[in-house]
Structure 1
Amino acid sequence: MSKGYKLLILAACTLALLVVSLGAYTRLSNAGLGCPDWPGCYGFLTVPNESHELTIVEKNFPNAQVEPKKAWIEMVHRYFASLLGLMIVALCIVAFRQRTNKNHKQVVVPFKHALLLMAMVLFQGLLGMWTVTMNLQPFVVMGHLLGGFTILALLVLMYLRVHQPADVTAPSITGHFLLAIIGLVVLVIQIALGGWVAANYAAPHCSGLPVCSNIELFSLESLFHLPIGQSNYEFGVLPFETRLSIHFIHRIWAMVTALTLIWVGWKIYRAELSSKIRSAVILVSCVLFAQLFLGGLIVHLQFPLLLTLFHNVMAALLLLSMVRLCFLLAAKQGATI
């Protein structure tokens, strides 16, 4: 495994985190439809601002009004996402060319892993297109968010795999690894619920701590009121009580997630498997408590944009810390994930 390939993976991980952050900022600043077409912006590679360009926009998009700030937010996100896609293509090409060593006995780069990443990037590109062409349909928006998190997690997992010791033997999966997987699944559900809150613009509809100030409007039945059949979903289309219920379910599952990760972390920490695994548990715990604090602070301060953005970034970091813990537990027993 060349040092350059490892650096390319690390650069892709860093860029993926940036792309996820830019995607969150695009959603939070209501810039998802800053450019009503895809992949360009009103038919241009950059945001149109010259008089002749605006004339073309007026002709081709008669009902549109160019908002340069929102358009640039959207386009910057697309530029960085495209760059990430190119980097993943490069990772896949190198993995294919160097997938075995000279004796053709040992895999030295995770080619299947790179191939999965490539497939995810292509699907994520489709989701990005549908997000715009379907006018922020919440199911598509949530899928786009989860796709970004998945690509980020796969890149970090690839980085961990290329640094895995080569002398592991006798692979077996222990109960501690299964516990960590349970914690990871619970966390992914919470991230999906957070994406559903964001996709339906439901965050401000549940103010107050620890429960919504207007909790009497909560209804499990209203959760089945789906956002479908609309021509435009910007700023949300669901009734107030439905959005309140969506947000409150997100809060309830946040408590389930916190208790699950604390329990899982305690069980693994007590096992004294290794100092590295103990450190990984501590990292998960620190990010978890920071995320809980941020969630409460955001509600208390009435959902400021930058703090809400940081809440999204912390969710990504919590996911990555759990992926690392799962990887270390698997590697401890000579297995790979």
Structure 2
Amino acid sequence: MQATNFILLALTGILAASVPLCMVWMATGTHRYRKLAWVIVFFTFDLIVFGGFTRLTDSGLGCPDWPGCYGEANPFLAHEHIAAAEALMPTGPVTKVKAWIEMIHRFLAMGIGFLIIGLMIASWMQWRRSNGRTEGRAASPWLPTLLFFWVIVQGAFGAWTVTLKLQPVIVTLHLLFGMTLLALAAWLGGREDHLLRPGPALAPLEAAKLRSLRPLAWLAGAVLLVQLALGGWVSTNYATLACNDFPLCQGQIVPEMDFEHGFTLWRELGKTAAGHYLPFSALTAIHWVHRNFAAVVVLVLGLAAWRAWRLPGLHGTARNLALVLFMQAFTGVATVFFNFPLAIAVLHNAGAALLVLLVTMLNYKVQYQLGTKPQARAHAVAAPAGHS
């Protein structure tokens, strides 16, 4: 890719980041750092949903190179190459529409990268102004720095997704790292919220209930992570319709399944490790495991929401978690019943991202309320004054 095109591509990313940055800067009131943190959460969520749309429309190779499109900064400049590929294979991986879907996804990802760079710089500047003093590590710049390095790793997996031709394990890790980026950004946003509005001291009984909830909240996060990996594996292997009925699969409780080939990680898309075509029974195994593990997710996350419902500061999070969990189960079943419609599949992907947000906030609120002493909260109120 020529230097001029690379500069144009970078400028596009900066332009994508400049709009939300200007909105944050022009917003009334102070606490712009907190607002920027939540803007990053919002756009990261959007990126994950649009990334799912990119995958579900088979647009992941809409531009078969990286970071540009046929070495150009955008599909306009690569029109001749895209038109030639589309003429050769009108329903193939490269079309004008798919190229634009893929590049919009990349532009949004670059914009988020620049937003995170801005957040990291602001956090270190605040830390230097305070001479490195923090209250309970609340103003520590290390979490924004971790976000910066994480988004670099995520970008690398985005590149390998293209260069390795949608290899399932790479695409699945790309999805998982995107969800982790969302969780890290939400944790940072939650931290800033509590700096601005620290809660009251807990009564001993309330603290005991929170301590009993904490292991369950962490278990909910772990179970959700496993299900995200299984769901990503279903999506990246195109195994969504391997079971076309519910609650049975191909009319059976336990259909014919090939776990060995289905869960071999390092292999090409649609191929076994030996290079043969992946048998349908392998796709069935992938779908069946994801579907049945969903019952574990509903049980654990549902129990966590029920336990959190009556605890201080957790009612809203618990209510939303229960609602999204129900909708996620509904869209999962509807995807099978309605033969994989695009809109419902995208909603299912968005529901997974919402579950990540809510489980992260549940864990953060439990951890924060247990780990922050009343006197530390009083000092923390002054911290956001420098967030401008």
Asked whether the 8 Å contact 1:200–1:238 carries over to 2, the reply is: no
Asked whether the 8 Å contact 1:46–1:75 carries over to 2, the reply is: yes
Asked whether the 8 Å contact 2:38–2:189 carries over to 1, the reply is: yes
The whole-number CA distance in structure 2 between the counterparts of 1:153 and 1:321 is: 9
1:113-159 C-alpha deviation (Å, 9 max, x unpaired): 01110111000110010000000000100011111111111111111
Aligned partner of residue 127 in structure 2, secondary structure: coil
**Does residue 1:19 correspond to 2:57, yes or no?**
no
Q: What does 1:99-118 correspond to in 2, within 5 Å? A: 99=127, 102=130, 104-106=132-134, 107=137, 109-118=139-148
Counterpart in 1 of 2:351? 314
Q: 5+ residue gaps in structure 2?
A: 1-28, 374-388
1:174-203 C-alpha deviation (Å, 9 max, x unpaired): 231111000111011111110010111110
Give the 3 Å change call, closer, same or farther, for CA 169–114 of structure 1 in structure 2.
farther
The whole-number CA distance in structure 1 between the counterparts of 2:270 and 2:173 is: 19
1:68-117 C-alpha deviation (Å, 9 max, x unpaired): 01100000000000000000011111111112654643255341101110
**Does residue 1:334 correspond to 2:371, yes or no?**
yes
| Aligned with 1:163 (options 172, 193, 197) | 193
How far residue 226 of structure 1 moved from its aligned partner, in angstroms, is: 4.5
Counterpart amino acid of residue 242 in structure 2: H
Give the 3 Å change call, closer, same or farther, for CA 55–100 of structure 1 in structure 2.
closer
Counterpart amino acid of residue 79 in structure 1: F
Counterpart amino acid of residue 278 in structure 1: H
The whole-number CA distance in structure 2 between the counterparts of 1:168 and 1:100 is: 30
1:230-265 C-alpha deviation (Å, 9 max, x unpaired): 7999xx953211011101100101001101112223
Counterpart amino acid of residue 140 in structure 1: I
| Aligned with 1:70 (options 74, 93, 98) | 98
Asked whether the 8 Å contact 1:137–1:232 carries over to 2, the reply is: no
**Does residue 1:292 correspond to 2:329, yes or no?**
yes
Counterpart in 1 of 2:262? 223
Counterpart amino acid of residue 19 in structure 1: L
**Does residue 1:238 correspond to 2:278, yes or no?**
yes
Aligned partner of residue 323 in structure 1, secondary structure: helix
Query: What TM-score comes out, normalization by structure 2 length?
Result: 0.77
Which moved further from structure 2: 29-38 or 148-157?
A: 148-157
The whole-number CA distance in structure 1 between the counterparts of 2:232 and 2:328 is: 15
How many equivalent pairs are there?
Answer: 327
Asked whether the 8 Å contact 1:138–1:199 carries over to 2, the reply is: yes
How far residue 278 of structure 1 moved from its aligned partner, in angstroms, is: 2.4
| Aligned with 2:306 (options 266, 275, 278) | 266
Runs of 4+ in 1 over 6 A off after TM superposition: 55-59, 62-65, 167-173, 230-233
Give the 3 Å change call, closer, same or farther, for CA 73–188 of structure 1 in structure 2.
same
Identity among equivalent pairs (%): 34
How far residue 2 of structure 1 moved from its aligned partner, in angstroms, is: 5.0
Q: CA RMSD in A?
A: 3.1
Q: What does 1:195-206 correspond to in 2, within 5 Å? A: 195-206=232-243
Counterpart amino acid of residue 177 in structure 1: R
Aligned partner of residue 217 in structure 1, secondary structure: coil
Give the 3 Å change call, closer, same or farther, for CA 105–167 of structure 1 in structure 2.
farther
Query: What TM-score comes out, normalization by structure 1 length?
Result: 0.88
Q: What does 1:123-134 correspond to in 2, within 5 Å? A: 123-134=153-164
The whole-number CA distance in structure 2 between the counterparts of 1:76 and 1:67 is: 14
